[in-house]
Chains A and B, each alone.
Chain A
Amino acid sequence: MLNPYDVETLEAKALRVREHIIRLATAGGCFLGASLSCADLIVYLYTHFLNVSPANFDDPQRDYLFLSKGHDVPALYATFVEMGWMPEARLRNHLQTHDHIYWHPNRGVPGIEFHSGSLGHLLSVAAGVAYDCKLRGQDNKVVVITGDGELNEGSNWEALLVAHAYRLDNLLIIVDRNEFQANVETEALIPLEPLADKFAAFGCAVERVDGHDFGALHEALHHFPYAANRPTVLIADTVRGKGLPSIARRADRWFCNFTQEEVADLLLELHGADKADLISEALMVR
């Protein structure tokens, strides 16, 4: 069990991560909602679950985290800053041509395992890594975070068939279940529920958790793998735009490019002030 001090520390870290993320939602903007929905997950994984750090990037026995949907990468940049792996100043290079900090992950940022952005790719890439770990008799954990809308892509289900066939119980798939595709609610477009049953039918061992509750995440992850010979799936119920009531669960707040003033108001909102008055247009295409 996480002690109250741990929870407090995690919450403080996650709050700072959200601040970094919100500051990226201007001067070109970013996919703000999805970054905020997975922020707690990513903070928890790097601080309490994964054996990975700049000190062991070259160690074949370290753990892996793949971010499959990709457009939530601001959460990764911000977590790296809070872990002390990346200088905070580097966030100011967002969308600058002299750096590699842009809307989707890439290996130009140390700590990022692989590029993504085209949906439905990294489950199979992670399965390849997990297969190799098994082949070498190593017990690394291989984690892949997928979106929920991303699960529309058939390649995910194809990769699951193969991961199950090869008994990749070192593979952990975490679904950031924020209930939105890009511009539409998942259940209103291509319904995914009952999602746990679908994964179970593909041979995975499945649990479901509140993706913003660190205590619950800790409980859900400390007994990984859930079953021998089966890939583990953890469906993390999250809120798109978590922390910012003015954009939370709003279909029209997918990609956000706000003014400096709006960002300042959103930072106050994150800390409990009234909802920000957002006048910038909602963007449907990126």
Chain B
Amino acid sequence: MNYEAALQEIVLSDARYVVMTAENRAAIRHLPARLNGRFLDTGITEQTMIGMAAGLALRGRVPICHALATFLTMRAFEFIRTDVGIGRLPVKLVGGVPGFLSDGNGPTHQALEDIALMRGIPGMQIFCPADEADLVLGLRAMLESPHPVYIRHTGGTAVIEHQPDFAIGQAETVLNGRDLTLLTYGMLFREAHAAAHLLSERGYSVRLLNLRTVWPIDEQAILQAARETRLLVTIEDHFLTGGLATIVSELLLRHQVMAPLLPIALDNRWFQPALLDQVLAVEGFTGPQLADRIDTYYGDKYA
């Protein structure tokens, strides 16, 4: 089942849901005809979409708002923060082509600070599925949550069979090794998964966590990994500032847990626009490149 079908099933089962978009129908193109008035396209108006979503939520609706991740979380940021955040309204935000998925669009479309921004809003929950199957597995829980939610939409094909039990704040432990831990989310799960297997072939015992919700994050799984493995590696298509590397660092400090951390992210820069595979290659985020980088770092540290 794909995202659109899963969404349709949930929305048709409960009259509270309204599907909204600021004229970005890529993931929901068949829904207008099937939802009638419960599909609302406000045109290229991210601010108005969020304001109207707040109004709909005041009337007991649960709006699910779609737009490209950059424009949704940045153009409309103050509306999300002020209307949805202060209002503590259960408005759901689905950001399209986040991070590397904006491939050839260029920096205007690169959502690399969306997690930092959304996490800065009290009460907001953030779901970064690894692929479409993972998205579908978590969708109902995120929509039923009484909180406002930001979903970093990922439509890719799964490289593993995901564990079906999904809970907000609970990571999926894909590999449970003892040498090093790869912490990742979103479309880079695929590359991290490939890297994990390459590292295993080189003799490492690898732990691989698909975090699913990065906020709230699975504190227990990360603290356990910090205590049980010799290196934490965060892998994300987000700026180094404010994303997973920051979240993990804060967590370790708060719990006074010392652990070596290799943060792999975009360090204070946008990425070179191209088709996705080339972006990954030129930025050093393919599975083999990640494996080499982690291998070298680990080797230098523990030689």
User: Known: A124-B48, A135-B37. Contact between A162 and B59, CB under 8 A?
Assistant: no
- Assess A165 versus B56: contact at CB under 8 Å? Given A124-B48, A124-B51, A155-B51: no
B37-56, CB under 8 A of A: which get 1 and which 0? 11010110101101111111
* Distance in angstroms between the alpha carbons of A130 and B48 in the assembled complex: 13
In the complex formed, the residue of A with least CB distance to B55 is A128
Determine how close the nearest CB of chain A comes to the CB of B284; give it in whole angstroms.
40
The 8 Å CB contact of A158, one of B47, B58, B60, B61, is B47
Chain A stretch 95-109: residues in CB contact (< 8 A) with chain B:
107
On whether the beta carbons of A125 and B51 are closer than 8 Å, the reply is yes
Given contacts A114-B87, A131-B40, A135-B38, contact A155 B55 (CB under 8 A): no
Q: Which residue of A lies closest to B50 (CB)?
A: A124
Question: By DSSP majority rule, is chain A's interface helix, strand, loop, or mixed?
Answer: helix
Structural contact, A129 and B55, CB atoms closer than 8 A = yes
Asked whether B45 lies within 8 Å of A158 as measured between CB atoms, the reply is yes
Q: Please name all residues of chain A whose beta carbon is closer than 8 Å to the beta carbon of B176 when the two chains form the complex.
A: none
Distance between B80 CB and nearest chain A CB, rounded to angstroms? 11
Q: Any chain B CB within 8 A of the CB of A127?
A: yes
Q: How far is the CA of A158 from the CA of B61 in the complex (A)?
A: 22
A141-190 interface (Cβ within 8 A of B): 155, 158-159, 161-162, 165-166
Question: Taking CB as reference atom, which chain A residue is nearest B86?
Answer: A115
Query: Could you say which residues of chain A place their CB within 8 Å of the CB of B57?
Result: 128
In contact, A162 and B56 (Cβ under 8 angstroms): no
Question: Scoring B residues 188 to 231 as 1 if CB is less than 8 Å from chain A, else 0, what string do you get?
Answer: 00000000000000000000000000000000000000000000
Distance in Å: Cβ of B171 to nearest Cβ of chain A: 35
Interchain CB contact under 8 A, B87 and A127: no
Most buried by A among B42, B60, B63: B42
Tell me if A129 and B51 are in contact (CB < 8 A): no
Q: Is A162 within 8 A of B55, CB to CB?
A: no
Which residues of the other chain, B, contact A126 by a CB distance below 8 angstroms? 55
Residues of A116-145 contacting chain B, CB below 8 A: 118, 121-135
Chain A CB within 8 A of B283 CB: no
Q: Does A60 contact B (CB under 8 A)?
A: yes
Q: Which residues of B contact A269 (CB under 8 A)?
A: none
> Which residue of the partner chain, among A60, A114, A124, A133, contacts B52 with CB atoms under 8 Å?
A124
Residues on A with C-beta less than 8 A from B40 are 131, 166
Contact, CB under 8 Å: B58 / A115: no
**Taking the complex as formed, is B179 at the interface, i.e. its CB lies under 8 A from any CB of chain A?**
no
Rounded to whole angstroms, the CA-CA distance of A128 and B59 in the bound complex is 9
Asked if A210 is at the interface (CB within 8 A of a chain B CB), the reply is no
Q: Is the CB of A161 within 8 A of B45?
A: yes
Q: Count A-B pairs with CB separation below 8 Å.
A: 87
* Residue-wise interface mask of B (85-110) relative to A, using a CB-CB cutoff of 8 A (1 in contact, 0 not): 01100000000000000000000000
Measured in the bound complex, the distance between the Cα atoms of B61 and A56 in whole Å is: 19
Query: A113 interface residue, CB < 8 Å from B?
Result: yes
Task: Report which of B43, B52, B87 forms a contact with A131, defined as CB distance below 8 A.
Answer: B52
Nearest to A107 among chain B residues (CB) is B87
Contacts of B45 in A (CB 8 A): 158-159, 161-162
- Is B42 touching A162 in the complex (CB atoms < 8 A)? yes
In contact, B52 and A121 (Cβ under 8 angstroms)? no
For A115, give its contact among B51, B61, B87 (CB under 8 Å).
B87
Of A107, A114, A133, A155, which contacts B48 at CB under 8 A?
A155
- Shortest C-beta distance, B142 to chain A (Å), equals 21
Interface contact B48-A129, CB-CB below 8 Å: no
Q: Which residues of A contact B43 (CB under 8 A)?
A: 161-162, 165
With a CB–CB cut-off of 8 A, which chain A residues contact B87? 107, 114-115
B83 touches A125 (CB 8 A): yes
**A128: which of B37, B56, B78, B86 is its contact (CB, 8 Å)?**
B56
Cβ-defined contact, B51 with A128, below 8 A: yes
The answer to whether B51 touches A127, judged by C-beta atoms less than 8 angstroms apart, is yes
A121-B83, A162-B42 as given contacts; A131 in contact with B48, CB under 8 Å? no
A115–B50 Cα gap in the complex (Å)?
A: 15
Q: Does B157 contact A (CB under 8 A)?
A: no
Q: How far is the CB of A138 from chain B (nearest CB, A)?
A: 10
Contacts of A60 in B (CB 8 A): 59-60
Contacts A129-B58, A132-B56, A162-B42 given; does A123 touch B51 at CB 8 Å:
yes
Q: Is B82 an interface residue (CB 8 A)?
A: yes
Given the complex, which residues of B lie within 8 Å of A118, measured CB to CB?
78, 82
Q: Of A107, A132, A159, A165, which one neighbours B59 at CB under 8 angstroms?
A: A132
Q: Which B residues are CB-close (under 8 A) to A131?
A: 40, 52, 55-56
- Asked whether, in the complex, the Cβ of B55 is within 8 Å of the Cβ of A132, the reply is yes
Whether a CB of chain A sits under 8 angstroms from the CB of B79 is: yes
Chain B residues with Cβ under 8 A from A134's Cβ?
37
Could you mark each residue 130-151 of chain B with 1 if its beta carbon is under 8 Å from any beta carbon of chain A, else 0? 0000000000000000000000
Q: Which residue of A lies closest to B36 (CB)?
A: A135
Having A124-B54, A129-B58, one finds 4 other A-B pairs with CB under 8 Å, namely A114-B83, A127-B55, A128-B54, A162-B48
**List of 3 A-B pairs having minimum Cβ-Cβ separation, nearest first:** A128-B55, A124-B51, A128-B52
Chain A to chain B contacts (Cβ below 8 Å), 17 pairs: A115-B87, A118-B82, A121-B51, A124-B48, A124-B52, A127-B51, A128-B51, A128-B52, A128-B55, A128-B63, A129-B55, A129-B56, A131-B56, A155-B79, A158-B45, A161-B43, A161-B48
- Which residues of A approach B to under 8 Å, CB–CB? 60, 107, 113-115, 118, 121-135, 155, 158-159, 161-162, 165-166
